[in-house]
Structure 1
């Protein structure tokens, strides 16, 4: 008996006393929680009459808020035919300054003929994601063509422009990483930033001093915690040409900050691809920046190229990663072959007809200078870069409703005079920052000097009439 009792006693004595205290506290907590659970008041049982009374009084909230009767979505204007330089609405032709057909490739006979031949050979769709049975030889051809056009090692093709940017960002940036983003970036970038779950640091639009201020703050944190700094990746995300403002990014300064603070740079060239640069290769060509120094370029094929989809290009090890982790690439049906060959033919036209870029830039400068003159000395003003084909007409007022009414009146009155303009529309409550109401005016390479001057005259007349009122 002693041979059993003595070891047990020795074990009990050798255990530190605080173990017994801790175990006793745990027992008390368990007892307390058990008693509390048993003392919870039971919900009163309702009678059938009380249930019926509650049901009669219940008023369900609407699934969506009520839409005002004057909302533009309830009174759309339908375009008949192609969205070319002129659009037909209810049998009348209007000069189109509303769509992003920058190089006038919508309705191009060469592109249409190639698309028709593709339909006869491949049909109208691929019916599957690229990684399964959706890859067709024309996809590989276009990816190679885009990489050569941009001077990059490799390109990856997406079937939807919005999903290109929104998928590419979270394919690399993850929780724990830091992304520096311009406050003026478009909605697709905002969704990509949100999906990445990274720490987002916003800097003022095109304000490099504010950007560097944030970089310095992070550099000081890194010095205090070098262990964490080694595993924290840093990205900056900007647009080559900003959709929401028409401003050009200061790429040379961005590249200086990239090397100085060791930050990867992603550039969305959706608006600048096919527009900026002597051959339409974007802001890297315009500023003379080596494209291999940019970590990744993202772009849509739905603007200047007049097709559908988008692409990312850069070094092979960067681009190839998206074929396994880019959600828009892995889980979306691939780009229809007819739109793929249409984009390929558009790239050939861009190579063969560089004068389209000259005409576009000439029209853009003429429109910007004319707009500044047409709405001078009024509460209207214009925002945009001289190299941009997109300009924003805004109204100076602290009252947002008043500004929207003035801009809507400008669109409606211009429409009555044969000019198709459009308000820049956004998802209310979804944008990262408040948006200033504006009219998004676009130009294209097909416009003649007479047509640009005529549209400026129309806008000036409407602005004067609204100013008098």
Structure 2
């Protein structure tokens, strides 16, 4: 072979010479191994490594082995009990009561029995009174037109639906009501539920799932970032105050949150046309992501609705449990709600009448001895609380109940606000709730204020 074509033999390569040189520095026990073995390369690198490096690697290896073979929990050490000790423990153990003890005079066990419709005048325990307890704000509960519409629907459809919306539970009257609600609220679409409480209780979980809100628009990364919600009542049930919606809208855009607005008390009450707190403040409806309200107050029906953009409402049709799995709203109640909307649109002055009556009794109750008025002057549901608590919630409730009873004896039907005390995060003070409706006359409002003042003076003096 010509010299120019000759290639270097591996035995004469620089790497070989380096290994051979290192081999001479190794202990004699590993000298016999060929210098190009992987094991030898490893031993050479190990031999050359600093001591601290070897110690650190050894600690890490031992720690990994410990993690792989150690248990994630430790069994609690216990000593075996004898049969006699077990019997003694069983005899000493007392189970917690299935139901906590409740006094026989608890308000929940003492019903006020209503005979007839709870309209403007209500018969309670056989006594006719002016009703200041039912959320019949627009006085439509006993309206002849609504009753006739419900009766006509009853003749056409029967009593109920006996199935969810997706299983032959969707009637044409349901679609008509949803269309009317969306048009009234000036939103793209609406959805109705068969039970008022289930409306918001179904809507919130539907959007709280992972990437639920914006995945429909093909952007799950953005959905994870913006899954923040501001859930607020238009008029607060527990205080009768209005939410600061303009400030909340600013917070929405500042922190990229979504606003869920619950308007069960403000729908059919606030605003020039009764559209609620958005109309009251002049807020653009597009700034609110979801509006919810029940139809059990102003519309004098049953159920609830949500309204908003189409993609928001369509998501509820797939994920709202109260919509997917509950029997749909009886058609007669949907027909009643439609007729109530007709009346609201035909008589927009009704909202101004309601507001004036609210201001009238609110002003008349100012200065009531021992009580303070809590709530906005234009709120149709507000509270009377004790100016000074007795120090015992139970005693405060009893004092307020004596005022309610005295008013009932004088033909004014009131009620105390009730709460699930153990479930409340911030339990409001005991209070008497006053509900105003458009049917109450000026004389009846003055009579109610006078009666409450006299009863408070008699009980709290």
Q: Deviations over 1:121-169 (max 9, x none)?
A: 2222222222333211111110000011111111111111112112222
Which structure 2 residues correspond to residues 41-440 of structure 1 after superposition, within 5 A? 43-47=79-83, 49-173=84-208, 231-373=225-367, 375=368, 378-398=369-389, 399-401=391-393, 402-440=395-433
Q: Deviations over 1:197-235 (max 9, x none)?
A: xxxxxxxxxxxxxxxxxxxxxxxxxxxxxx999824443
Distance of aligned partners of 1:101 and 1:29 in 2 relative to their CA distance in 1, 3 Å threshold? closer
What is the CA distance between 1:111 and its match in structure 2? 1.5
Q: Distance in 2 between matches of 1:233 and 1:32?
A: 39
Q: Distance in 1 between matches of 2:374 and 2:412?
A: 20
Distance of aligned partners of 1:422 and 1:13 in 2 relative to their CA distance in 1, 3 Å threshold? farther
Q: Deviations over 1:225-253 (max 9, x none)?
A: xx999824443222211111111223333
Which structure 2 residues correspond to residues 21-36 of structure 1 after superposition, within 5 A? 21-27=59-65
Q: Distance in 2 between matches of 1:371 and 1:31?
A: 74
Distance of aligned partners of 1:91 and 1:233 in 2 relative to their CA distance in 1, 3 Å threshold? closer
C-alpha contact (below 8 Å) 1:359/1:446 kept by paired residues: no
C-alpha contact (below 8 Å) 1:400/1:437 kept by paired residues: no
Q: Deviations over 1:160-187 (max 9, x none)?
A: 111211222232245799xxxxxxxxxx
Q: Distance in 2 between matches of 1:27 and 1:432?
A: 48
1:193 matched residue in structure 2: none
What is the CA distance between 1:298 and its match in structure 2? 1.0
Query: How many pairs are equivalent?
Result: 412
Structure 1 gaps, min length 5 = 178-226
C-alpha contact (below 8 Å) 1:266/1:298 kept by paired residues: yes
Q: Distance in 2 between matches of 1:287 and 1:359?
A: 19
Q: Distance in 1 between matches of 2:143 and 2:202?
A: 31
Distance of aligned partners of 1:50 and 1:326 in 2 relative to their CA distance in 1, 3 Å threshold? same
C-alpha contact (below 8 Å) 1:393/1:439 kept by paired residues: yes
What is the CA distance between 1:32 and its match in structure 2? 7.0
Structure 2 gaps, min length 5 = 1-32, 47-52, 213-220
Q: Distance in 1 between matches of 2:288 and 2:351?
A: 24
Q: Deviations over 1:31-65 (max 9, x none)?
A: 7769x87xx75642532x55444333322110221
Distance of aligned partners of 1:23 and 1:228 in 2 relative to their CA distance in 1, 3 Å threshold? farther
What is the CA distance between 1:261 and its match in structure 2? 4.6
Q: Deviations over 1:336-374 (max 9, x none)?
A: 11111111111111112334323322221111111115x
Root mean square deviation of aligned Cα:
3.1
Q: Distance in 2 between matches of 1:323 and 1:230?
A: 22
Q: Distance in 2 between matches of 1:274 and 1:462?
A: 32
C-alpha contact (below 8 Å) 1:396/1:403 kept by paired residues: no
C-alpha contact (below 8 Å) 1:397/1:403 kept by paired residues: no
What is the CA distance between 1:73 and its match in structure 2? 1.2
Q: Distance in 2 between matches of 1:467 and 1:276?
A: 35
Distance of aligned partners of 1:148 and 1:50 in 2 relative to their CA distance in 1, 3 Å threshold? same
Distance of aligned partners of 1:254 and 1:75 in 2 relative to their CA distance in 1, 3 Å threshold? same
Distance of aligned partners of 1:262 and 1:442 in 2 relative to their CA distance in 1, 3 Å threshold? same
What is the CA distance between 1:333 and its match in structure 2? 1.9
Q: Deviations over 1:233-284 (max 9, x none)?
A: 4432222111111112233333344445544322111101111112211122
TM-score (norm 2): 0.81
SS at 2:142 equivalent? coil
Distance of aligned partners of 1:14 and 1:172 in 2 relative to their CA distance in 1, 3 Å threshold? farther
